[in-house]
Amino acid sequence: SYELTQPPSVSVSPGQTARITCSGDDLPKQYTFWYQQKSGQAPVLVIFEDNKRPSGIPERFSGSSSGTMATLTIDGAQVEDEADYYCYSAASGSNVKVFGEGTKLTVL
Amino acid sequence: MQLVESGGSVVRPGGSLRLSCVASGFNFEDYGMGWVRQIPGKGLEWVGGINWNGARPGDADFVKGRFTVSRDNAQNALYLEMNSLRVEDTAFYHCARRAPAAVIWYFDLWGRGTLVTVSS
């Protein structure tokens, strides 16, 4: 079965750049999406189609993808960005849709 | 815009449950909808979906015909009928809206989820 791999945790100080990676064999052929989920809340879409930002998402959030790895970057991370972040994509040639295991971002 | 799930409860293995999701603040009948589950403290997992016209994009392998996604556009409601429930189905079940005009299924609006506990 298709899998997306993320690091379990990333930690930065406020104002630093946080980078969260997501690797998957089909990422060269499929878009990556990123969701933010704060404790006890619904997930929120922060990046779609590799590098597009939905309206209302701060400009410090950006996405990129190269080869089999996608990256979510938060420039100047803030305390309120502490959350779990999940990447999401689809397997090529099938109906399979998968989420990464999630990365806990700590900003302190 | 809001999605509110209900129907979660404690059920015994082998039992059945029907989850509901009511949408507000947008034109429900224009959007595909789906369900994603989350084991407490764990990650997200696609369950299944339904297009605006009732077409289905394919369920997760673990569903294996046990779960059925349906909708009632007149009631702005999405449903998940779950049968033959297993202990490993214990999770929060989130209702989510499919992003419009997208080739791939992804969700741009989520509910907070309703908890299903399968236990003897």
Which residues on neighbouring strands pair with residue B94, listed in sequence order?
A: B36
- Burial label for A13, CB within 10 Å (0-12, 13-18, 19+), is exposed
pLDDT tens digits along A20-49: 999 999 999 999 999 999 998 999 999 999
**Cβ of B61 under 8 Å from any chain A Cβ?**
yes
Interchain proximity B44–A54, CB inside 8 Å: no
> What is residue B4's predicted lDDT score, i.e. its pLDDT?
97
Q: Give Cα A69 to chain centroid, integer Å.
A: 11
- Who among B3, B43, B104 is closest to A86 (CB)? B43
Question: pLDDT tens per residue, chain B (120 residues)?
Answer: 999 999 999 999 999 999 999 999 999 999 999 999 999 888 999 999 999 888 888 788 888 889 999 999 999 999 999 999 999 999 999 999 999 877 788 999 999 999 999 999
DSSP for residue A107: E
Could you tell me if A55 lies within 8 Å of chain B, comparing CB atoms?
no
A48 → chain B, closest CA residue: B106
CA distance A13 to chain B (A): 24
SS3 B73: helix
Contacts with B113 from chain A: Cβ below 8 Å: 42
Q: What is the DSSP letter of A35?
A: E
Could you give the CA distance from residue A27 to residue A10 in angstroms, rounded to a whole number?
A: 22
Question: What pLDDT score does A21 carry?
Answer: 98
